[in-house]
Amino acid sequence: MKKSLVVQKFGGTSVGSIERIHTVAEHIIKAKNDGNQVVVVVSAMSGETNRLLGLAQQIDSVPTARELDVLLSAGEQVSMALVAMTLNKMGYSARSLTGAQASIVTDNHHNDATIKHIDTRTINELLEQDHIVIVAGFQGVNENGDITTLGRGGSDTSAVTLAGALQADECQIFTDVDGVYTCDPRVVPTAQKLDVVDFPSMEEMARKGAKVLHLPCVQYAWHHQVPLRVLSTFDVNDGSLIKGEVGTHPVCGIAIQRDMAIVCVHHDSLSSLTKQCQMLGIEIWNVIDEADWAGVVVKHDACAKLELVFSDKIRNTELVSLLTTVGLQAPHLVARSCELLAEKHIDVRYISTTNQSAMLTIAPQDVVEAANVLHSAFITSDEVIHEPVIQASLG
Amino acid sequence: MKKSLVVQKFGGTSVGSIERIHTVAEHIIKAKNDGNQVVVVVSAMSGETNRLLGLAQQIDSVPTARELDVLLSAGEQVSMALVAMTLNKMGYSARSLTGAQASIVTDNHHNDATIKHIDTRTINELLEQDHIVIVAGFQGVNENGDITTLGRGGSDTSAVTLAGALQADECQIFTDVDGVYTCDPRVVPTAQKLDVVDFPSMEEMARKGAKVLHLPCVQYAWHHQVPLRVLSTFDVNDGSLIKGEVGTHPVCGIAIQRDMAIVCVHHDSLSSLTKQCQMLGIEIWNVIDEADWAGVVVKHDACAKLELVFSDKIRNTELVSLLTTVGLQAPHLVARSCELLAEKHIDVRYISTTNQSAMLTIAPQDVVEAANVLHSAFITSDEVIHEPVIQASLG
């Protein structure tokens, strides 16, 4: 019988000290003792990537991309060796592999590479010999044999791509929170941990600002049907399992995205503004097309780039926050949301819906109160279940 | 016309900070601007190997050999990237390569591997594209693709082996001293830098305690006829060039080896003592065979190991120092050496000669005075040239 295979990913905080690496080893050993084959993906120890970047920036504010990848990839090489040593010391045979050794082949895009394919032969051989395999996250190798790194969220991507290539039964992302919450608990103290989330809802949550998982990681897992589990390194519980296509929650959660801006132009300039965004690689979150003006909603930190090439056309830029209710009922709750927020004198500037989400553009100072109002109505008190839903007429 | 090719090696102190790496880059650029192809071998930044070892030893006093190599090899990966970045920033195209990328293939002996062969194709391609190539010292890869390290003096070995494989015109070992001296200048203040040293003399100096170059490095260079140059990173001069078979100095230098011990046994036990040393991998520097007892001269730190398995046979252990005069005239100077030392009431315990050296065993407290006496007579005042040599009758 084929053993089940689990991929576990531990981030920088989880491997941040020898003591924490011991805790990580206990999670790994538990999975192994449960009868699984185990592949572990690790990030660099927290602080290490910044230390190495600091050295590079003493040399050059924009260091050579190829050499920066050589430098930064040393970070995971240290943590993977320490994790393997710890497991060996605890009586479990472990072997560490760099991205190159694990045959994680990427494109040539240094500092932001994309995984093209993984040749799993080495890992499978080691698993068949009953080793636990520790793989460096965040890194790969291009077809010339040069070291590459994957850019932001890279270790999650490494883990889920490995899980897909190995046809793993589950990909477990260990982090410093114990699962996916209905909303950011720092904003909404009554936010609840979700035991199970369907892929479409998780994708929409990640897309609209939930920080627990990077969007490409969720998308890859969904596309390859790899069940994803988010759980805490420092806590013992089952976390949140992300799988399947159909949600069980009428409203799954509320995603918050701060530090956004509406960039306003004359109506006639809208198409050239959106073209500029595309050329600069700036993501457009919403397009507003009013009678006398138009605008796009983008991340605030993209505004400077846009102003540099488009300043003569930009009328003004306004900071906003986005609040997105996610779930199959969400599009039907827009009118009720506006009503509830109006009671608190919170102005909803624009609304944009998909078939499973409703995104409200509001003023930054209103975001905490608005999130609590909607969470309380649609999640804590399950208002959606007890009231007939109202079809939203706003688009 | 084939360009000349220089291999330069910089140790941990030389790459110990961003500022020092800048100085290193200037040496590299000078060689490049002189019209050479340049391959550079770097160690880990000073302190880094100890930092990594410290992390490993928090986990396990004897960490897994394979994983220790993975861990330590990250050290050179950092320094090679920083050196390459610095050169790029200064307008010179540089590419760094790990031991694996440079195809430095070793045996399977983790932590103390031996280089089996180097496939120079990648390096040669990069050189032909006019890049400066920076290679991680101290590391290689075994035939399974596992990272290995070479053990003590490994970066020097990497450099000289690369120089041999690439048929380099010169292998330059940059260090914190500016060349090979006639004696350790901290012991003999009048010691002189040697501009040229022949391979046989340098090998004997290294074998008998001169620390400037590791013995296997000298032996490899000699065997492959790679001219070796020792020079300082922090000083501008031509250092010492080691080449050729024939010495130009009647006495080339005086090597000092401290912390040695005579392990004394009954005459009958001598052969089993030497066999024990062989089994334990303990090098025997001299064998003494007197009428009523016998002994071997070994490094003092090997005594504990020997006592563990042979304590019942060992009569006593005595700390000594060795002073070796190296050069073609050296064996003929034994009697004169004893005469000069006797004048200073320094007792020469044992004498051992080769065709180009004379090793005197003396008490540790006499080593400084004895070295100065012999250096003054045979090197500073060139006594050997002005006096007829006396054939030594001691063996």
DSSP B45-111: PTTHHHHHHHHHHHH-SS--HHHHHHHHHHHHHHHHHHHHHHHHHTT--EEEE-TTTTTEEE-S-TT
Q: 10 Å Cβ neighbour count for B353?
A: 19
C-alpha of A102 from chain center: 23
Question: Comparing B154 with A74, which gets the higher pLDDT?
Answer: A74
Lowest mean pLDDT among A198-207, A382-391, B96-105, B219-228: A382-391
Q: 10 Å Cβ neighbour count for A166?
A: 21
Question: Strand B228-232 to strand B240-242: parallel, antiparallel, or no bridges (unpaired)?
Answer: antiparallel
**Cα(first)–Cα(last) distance of chain B, in Å?**
53
d(CA A159, CA A43): 10
How high is the ipTM of this complex? 0.86
Residue B383, pLDDT score: 64
d(CA A210, CA A182): 10
d(CA B229, CA A75): 34
d(CA A175, CA A13): 8
DSSP conformation class of B118: E
d(CA B193, CA A233): 59
Neighbour-count burial of A97, counting CB atoms closer than 10 A to its CB (0-12 exposed, 13-18 middle, 19+ buried): buried
Mean pLDDT of B219-229: 95
The residues of B whose Cβ lies within 8 A of any Cβ of A are: 18, 21, 52, 55-56, 58-60, 63-64, 66-68, 70-71, 73-75, 77-78, 80-82, 84-86, 88-89, 94-96, 98, 100-101, 122, 145, 147
Q: Quickly name the fold that domain B253-386 has.
A: VC0802-like (3.30.2130)
Q: Which of B56, B67, B81 sits opposite A71 (nearest CB)?
A: B81
Q: Which of B55, B59, B96 should be substituted to probe chain A, the one whose Cβ sees the most A Cβ atoms within 10 Å? A: B59
For helices B18-33 and A48-59, the axis angle rounded to 10 degrees is 50
Q: Which of B67, B72, B80, B87 should be substituted to probe chain A, the one whose Cβ sees the most A Cβ atoms within 10 Å? A: B67
B390 pLDDT exceeds 60? no
CB contact under 8 A, B71 and A60: no
Query: What percentage of chain B reaches a pLDDT higher than 70?
Result: 96
Specify the amino acid at residue B27. H
d(CA B394, CA B40): 47
d(CA B242, CA A141): 40
DSSP conformation class of A67: H
CB contact under 8 A, A71 and B63: no
Q: How close, in Å, is residue B82 to chain A by CA atoms?
A: 7
Q: Which of A66, A81, A101 sits opposite B145 (nearest CB)?
A: A101
Print burial letters for A304-332: b (CB count within 10 Å at least 16), e (below 16). eebeeebeebbeebbebbbbbbbbbbbbb
d(CA B15, CA B137): 12
B302 pLDDT exceeds 80? yes
Low-confidence ranges of chain A (pLDDT < 70): 1-2, 382-395
Q: Do domains A5-176 and A253-383 have the same CATH topology?
A: no
Residue A291, pLDDT score: 81
Contacts of B70 in chain A (CB under 8 A): 77, 80-81, 84, 96, 98
C-alpha pair distances (Å), A120 with each of A80, A98, A154, A224, B244: 18, 13, 19, 16, 51
- Nearest chain B residue (CA) to A102: B145
Q: How close, in Å, is residue B100 to chain A by CA atoms?
A: 10
Residues B316 and B264 sit within 8 Å (Cβ to Cβ): yes
Lowest mean pLDDT among A138-142, A306-310, B159-163, B262-266: A306-310
CB contact under 8 A, A71 and B58: no
- Nearest chain B residue (CA) to A125: B144
Phi and psi angles of residue A162, each rounded to the nearest 5 degrees, phi first: -60, -45
C-alpha of A271 from chain center: 30
SS3 A26: helix
Q: How close, in Å, is residue A68 to chain B by CA atoms?
A: 7
Q: How close, in Å, is residue B86 to chain A by CA atoms?
A: 6
C-alpha of A114 from chain center: 16
Sign of CA dihedral B96, B101, B105, B111: positive
Residues A149 and A110 sit within 8 Å (Cβ to Cβ): yes
Contacts of B78 in chain A (CB under 8 A): 52, 55, 71, 74
Residue B249, pLDDT score: 80
Contacts of B52 in chain A (CB under 8 A): 78
Neighbour-count burial of A60, counting CB atoms closer than 10 A to its CB (0-12 exposed, 13-18 middle, 19+ buried): middle
CB contact under 8 A, B100 and A95: no
Mean pLDDT of B222-245: 94
Q: How close, in Å, is residue B143 to chain A by CA atoms?
A: 12
Residue B336, pLDDT score: 94
SS3 B232: strand
Residue B292, pLDDT score: 85
CB contact under 8 A, A85 and B63: yes
CB contact under 8 A, A78 and B71: yes
Nearest to B197 by CA among B214, B209, B179, B215: B179
SS3 B390: coil
Residue B167, pLDDT score: 96
Residue A114, pLDDT score: 93
Q: 10 Å Cβ neighbour count for A388?
A: 6
C-alpha pair distances (Å), B220 with each of B163, B213, B217: 10, 12, 5
HSE-up (13 A, CA, CB side) for residue B92: 24
Please give the structure tokens belonging to residue A381: 């008190």
Nearest to A132 by CA among B303, B64, B232: B64
B151 pLDDT exceeds 80? no
Kind and range of the H or E run holding A272: helix A270-280
Where does the pLDDT of residue B1 fall: very low under 50, low under 70, confident under 90, or very high at 90 and above?
Answer: low
Domain boundaries, chain A: 5-176, 253-383
d(CA A214, CA A200): 14
d(CA B54, CA B110): 18
CB contact under 8 A, B55 and A78: yes
For helices A65-89 and B65-89, the axis angle rounded to 10 degrees is 170
Quickly tell me which residue has 């910089």 as its tokens: B10
Specify the amino acid at residue A76. E
Q: Computed over its alpha carbons, how large is the radius of gyration of chain B?
A: 23
CB contact under 8 A, B74 and A70: no
SS3 B8: strand
pLDDT in tens, B188-215: 999 999 999 999 999 999 999 998 999 9
SS3 A78: helix
Residue A265, pLDDT score: 92
HSE-up (13 A, CA, CB side) for residue A28: 33
**Cα(first)–Cα(last) distance of chain A, in Å?**
53
Mean pLDDT of B205-226: 93
A289 contact partners, CB below 8 Å, separation of at least 6: A267, A270
Q: Which of A77, A139, A142 should be substituted to probe chain B, the one whose Cβ sees the most B Cβ atoms within 10 Å? A: A77
pLDDT in tens, B318-368: 999 999 999 989 999 999 999 999 999 999 999 999 999 999 999 999 999
Neighbour-count burial of A238, counting CB atoms closer than 10 A to its CB (0-12 exposed, 13-18 middle, 19+ buried): exposed
Domain A5-176: which CATH number of 3.40.1160.10, 3.40.50.300, 3.30.450.20, 3.40.50.720: 3.40.1160.10
Question: In this structure, what is the dihedral angle of CA atoms A276, A277, A278, A284, given to the nearest 10 degrees?
Answer: -150
Q: Quickly name the fold that domain A253-383 has.
A: VC0802-like (3.30.2130)
d(CA A297, CA A288): 8
Residue B133, pLDDT score: 98
Query: What percentage of chain B reaches a pLDDT higher than 90?
Result: 84
Question: In this structure, what is the dihedral angle of CA atoms A7, A10, A15, A21, given to the nearest 10 degrees?
Answer: -40
Please give the structure tokens belonging to residue B184: 């350790």
Q: Which of A60, A64, A88 sits opposite B64 (nearest CB)?
A: A88
Task: Tell me the Ramachandran region of residue B120: left when phi exceeds 0, alpha when psi lies from -120 to 50, beta otherwise.
Answer: alpha
Kind and range of the H or E run holding A279: helix A270-280
